[in-house]
Every structure is written in structure tokens, then in C-alpha cells.
């Protein structure tokens, strides 16, 4: 098989879970087999620096001029033709809409749609409109790749053909789960966390789907039962000021630390004594939970989306219903008061991570997918040629 050109398309390369997975995939693909183009609708976001100068990866932007720029699909189609792209794989909405439309205009041979969510309970008009269009264009895709079985169920429920759906779980690069004891202790000291106190943390964008409000309510209950506990929120987003205000009103201001965006989160997760994820929507395959397992942190997470596919409750951590701060807090306290359970969760989490969620495993799955889809395309093309040749002979 000749070297194939793969384009990974995304809205932009801001700090986020899907964006990080795209960057890791672009860097990890075998460059002797694949030439990689990463294309963005909008330029100027932090993860672009992770790709600049990366051998075998070209970074381009379509420079979309706002939400109502009608030229985007045509510019993409021109780029696909000029770069002779063999496979296009867009990530996220609206990149999927423009990616599929541009690929159909350019007649790109292989089209792969990516689903990063395990469910969507709360949507808005713009998202519903894009999803309506995407679902109809996805019928022309060669494969649909969710990152969880929950995501597979979600796309199947939207009428996507089952034979096109293939689950590929997220993978985490080695440096994402590497930190040192000195780093952990230095960071805890800078955060004002004593060695004997518990640090309970979450890494997630400060958006409604992550439900930090439930996290803060649980924090209030935990602190009353385990005095001295500190709570770390890593990430940023539109709800930051509201969450800071709520922490102040709940008299948690001295116990809650807002760390903001962090390009390197391993030291922050490594500094946690307990990793908590309070999401109530969207979760497919949580990077934070994977990284927490890779760093051997015990976990309490909501049983929503793809979270239950990562580990059984009681294994690497505990799963609790979403939107219930009392149950979340009691699960955390139960864990904090059981040192034997903590050690078991730490060991089991690291074992699961190494068996199922390494970057090497994810990249290999995508390489196999691309090769399979390309062979299928070549086979269909040869069949069409043969039929045309037979028709010519008959005439």
C-alpha cells in the first residue's frame, strides 16, 4: 500500500480533550505509511505549538471568517484536491459538517466521522441544527468512530448504519502520566496543601456538562467530615466566575483552588489524593479518568456516558449517580477512610490503563482502520474498472 495522505480537521486547537487526542494521533501515526495534515477552521490556539516542526505533519488553517462564512466548505474542497488527500477525518461540530461537505465536493476517497460524546442530554438550537445536517451527511461516510460504546449507542440511536460504527478508545501518551514525587510535593506546597491533608481534584473545562456545582456541594460535605481537605479545579471556561462566587458563598473560598488551564496536567493529577469527575452530560472516553488511572490515583466518577466502560465500580474507583452531591461526597469519604481500598484502586487503575488505554494502542487501531478502509476503496475502484471494461467489450 502506498503512503496515504490523511487530513485531521478540527474547529481549532484550543486546550481540550478532543483536541489533545487529535494532536496525539497526528504525532503518533507512522510517517512512513501516512502523511498527516492537521487543518483548523480557525487559527491561533495553544495546541498548534505541539505540531509545529513535527516531522511528517503539516499544519494549515482555513481561516474561517466567522460563523456565517459560506466559503469554508469550498476552501476545504480546494485544499483536499490540491493536497491530494486520501482520507479525511473531522473532529467535533461544526468541523464535521464542513469536513463531510468539502470531502463530497472534492470526491475525497475515504471519509471518517468521529464522535467524541457518549450522550447529549442538553443541547441548543445551533448544535441541533449542525447535528441534523451531520447525521444526513454521515450516511456518505465510510466509517463512524466513537470513543466509547456509549458513543456507539448514541450514533446508532440517530440512525447511523451499524456496520459503519467502530469503537476506538482514547489513548494517552507516556508523558501525560509521568511525574515525580518531588514535583508532587513541590506543587502541593505551592498550592498550600499540607502533606497530611487530602487534596481532592478534578480536571475538566468549566462548562455545564462537567457539573462543577455538584463537585462544590460535595466538597462542602467532605470538608465537614474530613477537615483540612482541599479541592483543586484544573481547567477554565465560561463558568469560572460563577463557580468562584459559589465557592465564596458556600464558605469554601479558603479550601478551593482554581488552577486554570494547564498544558501539562500530570503534576496536578499526581498531586491529588483522590480524582473526582462530576459530569452530568457528554462523557465519551474521559482523558482525565484515563490519566488518573495511569498516575495511580483512586477515582470517584459519575456513572454516565462511557465512564462505566473504563472500570467497574469498586475496581479502579467508585461510580455514583450524576447530579447527587450527597452520594458523591459519601463515596469520596468512604474511599478516604479506607487505605486498603485506596491502594487496591491505585494498583488496579494503573493495570487497566496499561492494558487498554495507551497511545500506542489507539494509534495502532487508527492505522489498521485507515488501511482497511483504503483497501476497501481500492477494491471497489477495481471492480468499477472491471465492469466498465466488460461493458466496452460488449459494445
pLDDT digits (tens, 9 = 90+) for 312-356: 999 999 999 999 999 999 999 999 999 999 999 999 999 999 999
**Per-residue confidence band for 175, with pLDDT thresholds at 50, 70 and 90:** very high
Distances (CA, A) of 260 to 53, 257, 264, 279, 308: 27, 9, 12, 18, 27
Rg, C-alpha atoms of the chain: 23
Peptide bond connecting 221 to the previous residue in cis, omega within 30 degrees of 0: no
Grid cell of 367 as nine digits: 492505522
Give the residue, 218 or 15, on which the prediction is more confident. 218
Q: Is the pLDDT of residue 68 over 90?
A: no
Q: What does the pLDDT look like over 148-164, one tens digit per residue? A: 999 999 999 999 999 99
Superfamily of domain 174-356: Glycogen Phosphorylase B; (3.40.50.2000)
Q: What does the pLDDT look like over 223-264, one tens digit per residue? A: 999 999 999 999 999 999 999 999 999 999 899 999 999 989
Q: What does the pLDDT look like over 26-49, one tens digit per residue? A: 999 999 999 999 999 999 999 999
pLDDT mean over 170-194: 96
Domains 4-171+358-394 and 174-356 share a fold: yes
* Selection from 166, 161, 160 nearest residue 145 by Cα: 166
**Per-residue confidence band for 310, with pLDDT thresholds at 50, 70 and 90:** very high
Hey, where are the domains in the chain?
Answer: 4-171+358-394, 174-356
Q: What does the pLDDT look like over 120-151, one tens digit per residue? A: 888 777 778 888 888 999 999 999 999 999 99
Q: What is the dihedral of CA 241, 242, 245, 250, to 10 degrees?
A: -140
- Evaluate whether the domain defined by 4-171+358-394 bears CATH number 3.90.650.10: no
Amino acid at each position: 500500500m502506498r503512503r496515504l495522505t490523511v487530513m485531521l480537521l478540527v474547529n481549532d486547537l484550543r486546550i481540550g480533550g478532543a483536541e489533545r487526542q487529535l494532536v496525539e494521533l497526528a504525532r503518533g501515526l507512522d510517517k512512513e505509511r501516512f502523511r498527516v495534515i492537521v487543518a483548523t477552521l480557525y487559527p491561533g490556539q495553544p495546541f498548534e505549538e505541539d505540531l509545529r516542526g513535527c516531522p511528517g505533519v503539516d499544519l494549515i488553517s482555513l481561516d474561517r471568517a466567522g460563523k456565517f462564512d459560506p466559503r469554508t466548505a469550498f476552501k476545504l474542497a480546494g485544499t483536499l484536491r490540491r493536497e491530494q488527500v486520501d482520507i479525511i477525518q473531522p473532529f467535533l461540530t461544526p468541523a464535521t459538517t464542513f469536513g463531510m461537505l468539502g470531502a463530497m465536493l472534492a470526491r475525497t476517497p475515504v471519509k471518517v466521522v468521529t464522535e467524541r460524546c457518549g450522550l447529549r442530554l442538553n443541547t441548543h438550537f445551533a448544535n441541533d441544527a449542525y447535528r441534523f445536517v451531520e447525521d444526513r451527511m454521515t450516511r456518505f461516510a465510510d466509517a463512524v468512530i466513537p470513543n466509547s460504546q456509549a458513543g456507539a449507542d448514541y450514533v446508532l440511536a440517530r440512525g447511523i448504519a451499524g456496520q459503519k460504527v467502530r469503537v476506538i478508545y482514547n489513548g494517552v501518551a507516556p508523558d501525560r502520566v509521568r511525574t515525580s514525587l518531588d514535583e508532587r510535593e513541590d506543587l502541593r506546597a505551592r498550592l498550600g496543601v499540607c502533606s497530611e491533608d487530602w487534596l481532592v481534584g478534578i480536571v475538566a473545562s468549566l462548562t455545564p456538562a462537567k457539573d462543577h456545582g455538584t463537585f462544590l456541594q460535595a466538597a462542602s460535605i467532605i470538608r465537614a467530615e474530613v477537615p483540612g481537605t482541599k479541592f483543586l479545579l484544573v481547567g477554565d471556561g465560561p463558568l469560572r466566575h460563577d463557580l468562584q462566587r459559589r465557592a465564596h458563598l458556600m464558605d469554601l473560598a479558603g479550601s478551593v483552588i482554581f488552577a486554570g488551564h494547564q498544558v501539562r496536567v500530570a503534576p496536578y493529577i499526581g498531586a491529588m489524593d483522590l480524582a473526582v469527575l462530576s459530569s452530568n452530560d457528554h462523557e465519551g472516553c474521559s482523558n482525565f479518568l484515563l490519566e488518573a488511572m495511569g498516575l495511580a490515583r483512586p477515582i470517584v466518577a459519575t456513572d454516565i456516558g462511557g465512564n462505566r466502560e473504563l472500570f467497574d465500580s469498586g475496581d479502579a474507583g467508585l461510580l455514583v449517580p450524576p447530579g447527587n452531591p450527597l452520594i458523591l461526597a459519601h463515596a469520596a469519604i468512604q474511599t478516604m477512610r479506607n487505605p486498603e481500598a485506596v491502594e487496591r484502586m491505585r494498583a488496579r487503575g494503573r493495570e487497566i490503563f496499561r492494558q487498554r488505554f495507551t497511545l500506542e494502542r489507539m494509534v495502532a487501531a487508527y492505522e489498521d482502520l485507515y488501511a482497511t478502509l483504503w483497501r476497501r476503496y481500492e477494491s471497489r475502484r477495481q471492480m468499477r474498472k472491471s465492469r466498465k471494461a466488460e461493458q466496452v467489450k460488449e459494445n
